[in-house]
Each structure stands twice: as structure tokens, then as C-alpha cells.
Amino acid sequence: MKHFAIVPGDGIGPEVVKVGTDCMEALCEISSFDFDGELFNIGGQRYLETGELLTDQDISDLKKKDAIYFGAIGDPRIKPGILEGGILLKMRAVFDQYINLRPVTSWFPYVPLKREVPFDIHFLRENTEDFYMGLGAKLRKDNGYRAEIGVKRESYDMGFDIKAEPSEDDEYSIEVGLLSRKGVTRFADYAFKYAQARGEDKVTLVDKANVITNNYGMQREIFQQKADEYGMKLDFMFVDAMSMAMIVRPETFGTVAVPNLFGDILTDLGAQLQGGLGMGGSGNINPHGLSMFEPIHGSAPDIAGQGKANPIAAVLAAEMLLDNQGFPEEGRMLHAAVRHCLDTMQVTPDLGGKLRTEEVGKAMVDFI
């Protein structure tokens, strides 16, 4: 029996998570898979009522679970950044979910693809380092153009001195992209393990090592060591070339490892390539700890409560959750249920269909 935390969240989150949990319950009836889902009230609604984001109690309750199934959080009444920082980023940090997994899969002909060749790219985005550590500073005359740059774990004195006397209104800012050998090594290790588990013999590493030479040079070296260790192949792609290649030959990629900033950008490109926000699932994974699976879209307040939300992204997130929890066969059944709904056009208006969210859910459950 698996124990999942279910965090429906705000907006369309609860609507699509309901479909995903209904599908998982249907699976329990026809397979050895079994789970109990405990609902967690975390998100914008609770924040407005109580001022609480992610409490210590939440964290210790979540820690007891095998995995988290997450909808979306967001509320137009709340200043941007508060929920993201106080809940999502905090969760990633406390559970050290250092891999962001994003499959980009074609569902032709039901989505607006450029190419009719099927593709299935699995992006692994590093989730904790690179340019997204908030590691930077303003350098001004009043601080002597010196910066004490602090992160949670350590403090880096940049010792940054500008020799020439700058004018009164001069100001500089720096943002540091930091990679650690430890961080890259665990990332690379997961990438090769993941590719191997998918029956592939190669990982593609995306970077910009020709310009950002220190960071991505070290990253290449570490990935190469891991490739040798696993006896697998390693391909390099520059991120600019990769964004073109994703459009013209997406079928040539399998497992793709990409650092944090470039991963953010490429996976949004991937989302459109596969048919929009309603079609993608994602995982925030700690291979040795608590992982969380969610649709790639947000709370979409503009369509909340109208039955228009496409539940496919949430169901694909449930598929990834099952795969991660050791139930790949059951995961494939959810995949097949999605395929069935697309083949029979039992889909929501964003895909040109006429069904409501819960009707798509019912079609999937009946199929299972």
C-alpha cells in the first residue's frame, strides 16, 4: 500500500487532480497497485484565510508519505512570488528535489505539431543550482563595489573591486551561476540511470560551454566521467542549436539533461511542441527521498470552476508518479487512457473537443 499526499491547491488544481486520483483508484481495482491518498490543504486559499504557506507541521506530515501528487497553486489576489517562494520553492528545497523531470511527448494528430514523426523527449532539468540560486548582489559606491553574496548553505565573498573611480551614479549588479561538483555529479548520475532504465544508451547534455566555459566546462567533464562509468554515450548540444533542433528534429532526442536556467526555457518550448500546458506532466524528484508530481500548468483562474480544464496534464503527472513508485505497468494504463480519449476526441475545448473536465475523467475511468 502506497501512501500519497494529495495537494489539490487552487483554481483548476482540484478539478484536474480529482481526475488523476479517480484514475488511480480505478487502477487499484484491476491491478496489484493500491494507495491511500491524504488530502493536504496547502495553497493560496489557505494563505488568504490563515496567512500560512508551508508550515513545519505540513513538512513533517508530508515527510511520512511516499510521494506527493500536486495540482496547482496561485491566486490573483496574492502578490506574485509569495506562493511560489513560500510553498513550491520551499518544498523543492526542504525535500531536496534536485531533478525536474519533464517528458515532451507527441500526441499527433490532436495537437499542433510541426512534424508528424512521433517523438518522446525526456528532459531532466537540474533544479537547485546554476543561475537560479538568488546568488547575486548590487555593487554600488556606498558598499565600495564589494559584495558579500550569501546563499542558504555558504557565503561567498566575491572580493569584487572596481579599480577606476566610478561616477556618482554608477551601479553594477551581478548574478552568479554556481555549479558544485557534488551537485553536477548527482545530476549526471541520475541522468544516466534514467536513460538506462528507459532502455537508451545515450544522454544528451545541453549547455553553452563555448561561452560559459567555467561552469559548463566542469559540467561536461563530470558528465563524461559518468558516461564512461556507465559505459554509455554522451552527446553535447548548445542551447541555441537545441532550441532549433527541438522544432525540426525532436524525434532524434531521448533523455536530455539540462541545467536549471536553460531547462526552464526549453521545457516551455517543449510544452508547446507537445500541444500546450494542458498536455504535460512534470516531476520534482529526489531519487532518495520524497518526490512530487504535478501538471505543468498553473491554477488558470480564468477557467476555474467552469469544467473547461484539460485533465490530461494531471493524468500524465499521475503516470509519472506511478512509474517513479515502481508501478510502470499501471502508469502505462494511464497513458493508454489518455491515448484513448485523444483517439476518440473525448477531450476538452482547448483540444477542440466538447467534453467537460469530469466527462473526460469518466471516459478515462471507464476505459481503465
Interface residues toward ligand ATP, by CB under 6 A: 12, 72, 74, 277-278, 297-303, 309-310, 313, 350
Q: How far is CA 31 from CA 149, 270, 328, 331, in A?
A: 53, 32, 12, 11
Please identify the residue of the shown chain whose CB is closest to the bound ligand ATP.
Answer: 298
Please identify the residue of the shown chain whose CB is closest to the bound Mg ion.
Answer: 298
> Any idea which residue has 510521494 for its cell?
67
**Closest separation in Å from C-beta 278 to ligand ATP:** 4
**Closest separation in Å from C-beta 297 to ligand ATP:** 3
Nearer to Mg ion, 91 or 205 (CB): 91
DSSP structure string for 158-193: ------S---TT-EEEEE--B--HHHHHHHHHHHHH
Site size toward Mg ion (CB under 5 A) is: 1
Nearer to Mg ion, 177 or 281 (CB): 281
Partner whose binding site includes residue 221, from ligand ATP, Mg ion, none (CB under 5 to 8 Å by kind): none
Residue pair 316/280 in contact (Cβ under 8 Å)? The answer is: yes
DSSP symbol at 253: -
For 242-276, b/e burial (b = at least 16 CB within 10 A) is: beebbeeebeebbbbbbbbbbbbebbeebbbbbbb
Nearer to Mg ion, 43 or 298 (CB): 298
Nearer to ligand ATP, 10 or 207 (CB): 10
Nearer to ligand ATP, 235 or 350 (CB): 350
Nearer to ligand ATP, 215 or 348 (CB): 348
- Whole-angstrom Cα distance, residue 132 to residue 176? 9
Q: Which of residues 268-307 bind Mg ion (CB under 5 A)?
A: 298
Partner whose binding site includes residue 277, from ligand ATP, Mg ion, none (CB under 5 to 8 Å by kind): ligand ATP
Residue pair 340/366 in contact (Cβ under 8 Å)? The answer is: no
**Closest separation in Å from C-beta 350 to Mg ion:** 15
Assign residue 264 a region (left: φ > 0; alpha: ψ between -120 and 50; beta: otherwise): alpha
Is 331 a binder of Mg ion (CB under 5 A)?
A: no
**Closest separation in Å from C-beta 12 to ligand ATP:** 6
Nearer to Mg ion, 296 or 315 (CB): 296
- Beta-sheet strands, E only, within the chain: 2-9, 35-39, 67-72, 99-105, 120-126, 136-140, 148-150, 155-157, 171-175, 202-207, 233-238, 255-258, 281-285, 291-295
**Closest separation in Å from C-beta 16 to ligand ATP:** 6
**Closest separation in Å from C-beta 226 to ligand ATP:** 34
Which positions lie near Mg ion, rule CB under 5 A? 298
